[in-house]
Amino acid sequence: MGVAVGTGSLLLSVALAAVWRPGPLKRLFAPPPVDGLNARAGLDGRLLGHFPYGELPASKRVAIAAGFSLHRDAAEAFLELQRDAATSGHELIVLSAYRSHKLQNELFFDVKSDRNQSARERAMVSAPPGFSEHSTGFAIDLGDGLAPATNLSPEFEQTPAFAWLKANAARYHFTLSFPRGNSQGVSYEPWHWRFEGSAEALQIFEPAQRLAR
């Protein structure tokens, strides 16, 4: 009888092990993923709305303008997009491209402090370090060189440059990351576009795409 009970317990343990997935539970009790930020990632990995992203190595980065670089695949597509926009009379300028985790840390915490923002308020407009699309080298912030007052502002959507992007960006595999009412709960950013024209990029942004569906 004792052997039968022991065998049954063993079988039950094996069955539970087959279906148990400790990952999500571990994340619930794991420490915050960003030093100085008292917030924990959700079950889907998001922190304050943003998915985690690795840092693109220098070997894959290509310069697209003075002080700015992208993943080599995105760089080639963007430069073609920029040239074609210029041919149509639009001056698309680069405001930000690849950003290291270190730089993202400064942008998040320093501006948060200067503006007296809570972490959640800051995350509405800027991702915490380790959670920014810019770190992948596939994301870029664009402005209209003929309307600089609209840079990094929702008013950018009223410029001819944005209208051209909205009509043509998909041909170069760029898509708007944070449209109005986006599922991540991030503020509308008509200037922020990401490249999805390679298997690598699609794999990186698949969780964000899945959430948006």
For the chain, the structural domain boundaries read 42-212
pTM over 0.95: no
**Yes or no: domain 42-212 corresponds to CATH 3.40.50.300:** no
**129 or 8, greater pLDDT:** 129
Pick from 35-44, 72-81, 96-105, 119-128: least confident? 119-128
Q: Residue 98 in contact with residue 134, Cβ under 8 Å?
A: yes
What pLDDT is recorded for position 35?
79
- 16-75 per-position pLDDT tens digit: 444 444 455 455 556 778 877 778 889 999 988 899 999 999 999 999 999 999 999 999
Please report which residue ranges of 115-159 form alpha helices under DSSP H: 119-123
User: Helices 160-168 and 72-87 sit at what angle, rounded to 10 degrees?
Assistant: 120
Q: What share of the chain is helix, strand, coil (3-state, %, to 5)?
A: 50, 15, 40
Cβ-proximal residues to 89 (8 Å cutoff; 6+ apart), any chain: 160
Round to whole Å and give the CA distance between 167 and 129: 32
Consecutive H or E run containing 69:
strand 68-71
Round to whole Å and give the CA distance between 10 and 111: 56
